[in-house]
Amino acid sequence: MSAPNERVVLAYSGGLDTSVAIGWIAEATGAEVVAVAVDVGQGGEDLDTIRKRALACGAVEAYVADARDEFADEYCLPALKANALYMDRYPLVSALSRPVIVKHLVEAARLHGATTVGHGCTGKGNDQVRFEVGIAALAPDLKCIAPVRDLALTRDKAIEYAEKHQLPIETTKKNPFSIDQNVWGRAVETGFLEDIWNPPTEDVYSYTQNPAEPRDPDEVIITFEAGRPVAIDGETVTMLQAIELLNQRAGAQGVGRLDMVEDRLVGIKSREVYEAPGALVLITAHQELESVTVERELARFKRTVDQRWGELAYDGLWSSPLKKALDGFIDEANAHVTGEIRMTLHGGRAVVTGRRSEQSLYDFGLATYDTGDTFDQSNAKGFIELFGMSTKLAAVRDQKNT
C-alpha cells in the first residue's frame, strides 16, 4: 500500500475508463490522483469541462495543457520532414501524440510531487509501450501503472463503478469503435472492423467526406522553407494552421482515408481505419519537393532513414539515441527543401500538378529533348563502359567457368 500522501499522475482523456481510474487507483493504492489532460487538437469537449469532470471524479488536482502548437511544431513537423509512414501508409497519428503527452505527464509529476504515472492502455496495444518507455527515458525514477492492464479495470467494472459512485459521465451508451484523434489525424478500430472482411461504413469517418460524392476539385499551392510548410495559397501559416486548413480542404474532398491491417509492436496484426487528410497531403507535397531539390544519393539514403525514423516513432522510441541522431540527418537533408507544390484535391486523391523552387536541381537544358538541349551525348558511351565494367568482368568470368 502507498503512503496516504503519495500521488499518481494520470493521463486523463475525460472518458469512462480514465474517469473511473481516478477512484480505482485511489482505492487500490491509497494514493491521491492528479489528472492530466493534454490538448493535441483532438477536438470534442472543452478542456475546462474535462478538468472539472476530473475533479468531480475525485482527482485532487487537474492539470490541463494546450499543446496544439507544440505538438504541430515539435512532433508533426519532424514526422513531415521524415515523410514518416509506418508500413509505407500510416502517418503515425497516435504514435506522434504519445511523446508530447508523456512530456506533460512528467512535468506534472515533478510539479505535484508524484512518484507514479498512470495511463489507460491495455496490455495488447502499442500505447502502453510508448507511454512507459517514454516516461523511463525522461524520468527513469518514476513508476508506471496501467489500471486497465494492472488493476483489472474492465469496461463492465468501469460502468458498474461509475453508476455506483454517480460519476458525471455517460455509461449507458457504448460506441462500437475505439477512437483516438488529434490534429494530425484520426484512428478508428474495434467493433465490426475487427472482422477484416467487413468494409468500413460512412459513419466510421469524421474528418473526411465521402470521396464518391460529386463536387468541384480544389487546387492548392503549398509553400515550404527547409521542409516546413509556411504558406497555403500565398497566405502565411504556422505548422498547426497548415495542418488544420488542409484537414478541412482535403477532408472535404475525401482525401486521407486509410484501411489497413497493421503490424503492432506487440506482435498482433490489427485492422485500423485512419483519416489523415492534412498529414497525407503535406507528406505527398513534401516528398515531391524533395524529388526536385534533394541530390540523388542523399535522397536514396534518406528513404532508408525515413523508414527507420518512422519505425522508431511507432515503437515508442521517440527519445532514443538513434532517433535523436536521425533527427540531425533529416534536418540537414531538408536544408534545400524550399519551394512550392501545386496540388489538385478531388475524389479522394491529392495529385501533384506543379513544382517550382529556387533550390531546384532540375535543369531544363539537360532534361529537354528539344531545341536548347545542353546535354553532351558524346559522354554517354564512356560512362556506360565504366559504369558497367564490374558487371561485364563478372559475366566474362562466369562464362569461362560454365
For 365, list phi and psi in degrees, rounded to 5: -60, -40
Q: Does one domain contain both 14 and 158?
A: yes
Residue positions in the annotated binding site? 11-19, 90, 120, 122, 126-127, 130, 178, 262, 274
Q: What is the Cα–Cα distance from 110 to 117, expressed in whole angstroms? A: 11
User: Which grid cell is 390?
Assistant: 564490374
Q: Does one domain contain both 76 and 95?
A: yes
Domain termination residue (choose one: 158, 174, 190): 174
Q: Does one domain contain both 378 and 350?
A: no
Q: Does one domain contain both 185 and 127?
A: no
Residue 98: active-site member: yes
Strands 269-275 and 185-189, by their bridges, are antiparallel
Instruction: Kindly report the number of other CB atoms within 10 A of residue 303's CB atom.
Output: 13
For residue 304, being part of any structural domain is answered with no
Looking up residue 259, the CATH number of its domain turns out to be 3.90.1260.10
Report the pLDDT value the prediction gives residue 178, as an integer from 0 to 100. 81
Report the pLDDT value the prediction gives residue 172, as an integer from 0 to 100. 53
Residue 398: active-site member: no
Domain termination residue (choose one: 174, 194, 225): 174
For residue 305, being part of any structural domain is answered with no
For 57, list phi and psi in degrees, rounded to 5: -85, 0
Instruction: Kindly report the number of other CB atoms within 10 A of residue 350's CB atom.
Output: 22
Q: Does one domain contain both 225 and 349?
A: yes
Residue positions in the annotated binding site for L-citrulline? 90, 126, 130, 178, 262, 274
Q: Does one domain contain both 114 and 242?
A: no
Over its length of 402 residues, how does the chain's per-residue pLDDT go in tens digits? 444 579 999 999 888 888 888 988 988 889 999 999 999 999 877 888 889 999 999 999 998 899 999 999 999 999 999 999 999 999 999 999 999 999 999 999 999 999 999 998 888 889 999 999 999 999 999 999 998 888 777 778 878 888 888 888 765 555 667 888 999 999 998 889 999 999 999 999 999 999 999 999 999 999 999 999 999 999 999 999 999 999 999 999 999 999 999 999 989 999 999 999 999 999 999 999 999 999 999 999 999 999 999 999 999 999 999 999 999 999 999 999 999 999 999 999 999 999 999 999 999 889 889 888 898 899 999 999 999 999 999 999 999 998
Q: Of 48, 155, 178, 356, which is the active-site residue?
A: 178
Residue 178: active-site member: yes
Q: How many domains does the chain have?
A: 3
Report the pLDDT value the prediction gives residue 174, as an integer from 0 to 100. 58
Q: What is the Cα–Cα distance from 149 to 60, expressed in whole angstroms? A: 23
CA 250 to chain centre: 17
CA 97 to chain centre: 7
Q: Does one domain contain both 17 and 155?
A: yes
Q: Does one domain contain both 217 and 115?
A: no
Residue positions in the annotated binding site for ATP? 11-19, 120
Looking up residue 34, the CATH number of its domain turns out to be 3.40.50.620
Q: Of 51, 53, 98, 249, which is the active-site residue?
A: 98
Range of the domain at 35: 7-174
Q: Of 53, 97, 127, 186, which is the active-site residue?
A: 127
For residue 321, being part of any structural domain is answered with no
Reduced to 3 states (helix: H, G, I; strand: E, B; else coil), residue 35 is strand
Q: Which of 139, 142, 341 is nearest to 229 (CA)?
A: 341
